[in-house]
Every structure is written in structure tokens, then in C-alpha cells.
Amino acid sequence: MSDVTRVLSQIEAGNPAAAERLLPLVYEELRKLAAARLIHEQPGQTLQATALVHEAFLRLVSGGNSPNWNSRGHFFGAAAEAMRRILVENARRKARTKHGGGLEQQDLASSQIPAKEISGDLLALDTALDRLAQNDPQSAELVKLRYFAGLTNAQAAKALGVSPRKADFIWSFARAWLRREIAGPEE
């Protein structure tokens, strides 16, 4: 049993000190995953990898209810979901009218340059991913692991308990399904 799995078992058993031991064990890996995910975000993203990891970790270990992680892969799946939710919440917050709606902040020197539109890709993906989860939860989970946690196909397959070949099939299906949902039926 790995150190991470052992600490996860202690957290599940209700040991409050175990959460403090978990972060040092998974921090570097979570930070790499967060940094890889943030590379794909729109320019002007203010959320840093460190802040994303800390916020996701706090959501995972706090809240009063004892999480039921049965493996290292399950924990990283939960971390991917937490990062996804944080990024979506951040995108929604930035898209609200109170925060400028679809406008971008501009320097005074560049005020003559028209502002680019903020892409709603992440919000569209989130909506489509929720619909996919209703129809095919395993496909949605694979997308979260690959897209939001930055896992490779082999790592995601292991976390889901399927063969890499099956994960390839699920990934192909999920990408096509999401592309159709986001683009609409006319494309």
C-alpha cells in the first residue's frame, strides 16, 4: 500500500491529522497537473497553479464530511473534478456583468485596440460535460481525468480500472460527443 493510499485510509477513518500529511505527498503531482491544465486557459487567466492546487485541496479535505477515497486514482479523480469546478466558477465569475461581462481590461496606451471577445469554451465544455455525465458517467470521468487533471491515457485507464485500449475507445467517443454537443448539430 502506498503512502498516499495509507493516508487516504486514515482520512476516511476520521483521523484529522492525516489531511496535513496528505498535502506534502501529493502536492508536486497536483501542482504539475494544475500547471498543465492552466496552459490551456485563455490569456489573462489570473489563477495560478499553486492557488488552484490549494483551493482544490481545501475542497477535498474540508467540509466536515469524511471523503471515501478507495485509491490513489480515486483521489486524483476527485482532485480533477475539484479543479474543473474551480476553473468553471472562475470563468463564470469573470463572465458576469459585474466583472465586466465580455469585456477585457485594457491598458490606457492600447485603448485604441478593439477588445477580443472572451471565449465561452470552458463554460460550453462544462455544460456539455454535465450532459455527457448524465448519459455516460464513465466517459465524463475519463474526460475530467484527461482534460482537467492532465493524466495520460494509461494513467486515466488505471484510475478508472479499464484497459488502455478501452480508455482509447471511450476517449474517442467522448471527444466526438462533446464536439457535436458544443458545435451543434449543423456542423
**Burial label, 170 (beta-carbon count in 10 A; 0-12, 13-18, 19+):** buried
pLDDT digits (tens, 9 = 90+) for 167-178: 999 998 998 888
Together in a domain, 145 and 90: no
Together in a domain, 92 and 5: yes
Q: Would 47 be classed as within a structural domain?
A: yes
4: Cα within 13 Å, side-chain hemisphere: 16
Together in a domain, 53 and 124: no
Q: Which residue has the higher pLDDT, 181 or 60?
A: 181
Together in a domain, 97 and 135: no
- Domain boundary, last residue among 74, 101, 128: 101
Q: Which residue has the higher pLDDT, 96 or 55?
A: 55
Per the CB < 8 A criterion, the answer to whether 153 and 164 are in contact is: yes
Average pLDDT over residues 77-98: 78
Q: Is the pLDDT of residue 165 over 90?
A: yes
Q: Would 125 be classed as within a structural domain?
A: yes
Together in a domain, 70 and 161: no
* pLDDT-wise least confident of 65-74, 80-89, 140-149, 176-185: 65-74
Together in a domain, 130 and 86: no
Number of domains in the chain: 2
Q: Is the pLDDT of residue 110 over 60?
A: no
Q: Would 107 be classed as within a structural domain?
A: no
Residue showing cell 479535505? 61
- pLDDT at residue 179, as a whole number: 86
- pLDDT at residue 119, as a whole number: 45
Domain at 147, CATH number:
1.10.10.10
Dihedrals phi, psi of 57, to nearest 5 degrees = -65, -45
Average pLDDT over residues 154-164: 89
Q: Would 14 be classed as within a structural domain?
A: yes
CA distance 153 to 150: 9
Together in a domain, 81 and 132: no
| Listed residue (63, 68, 86) closest to 9, CA to CA | 68
- Domain boundary, last residue among 68, 101, 134: 101
**Burial label, 99 (beta-carbon count in 10 A; 0-12, 13-18, 19+):** exposed
Together in a domain, 92 and 140: no
| Host domain of residue 52 | 1-101
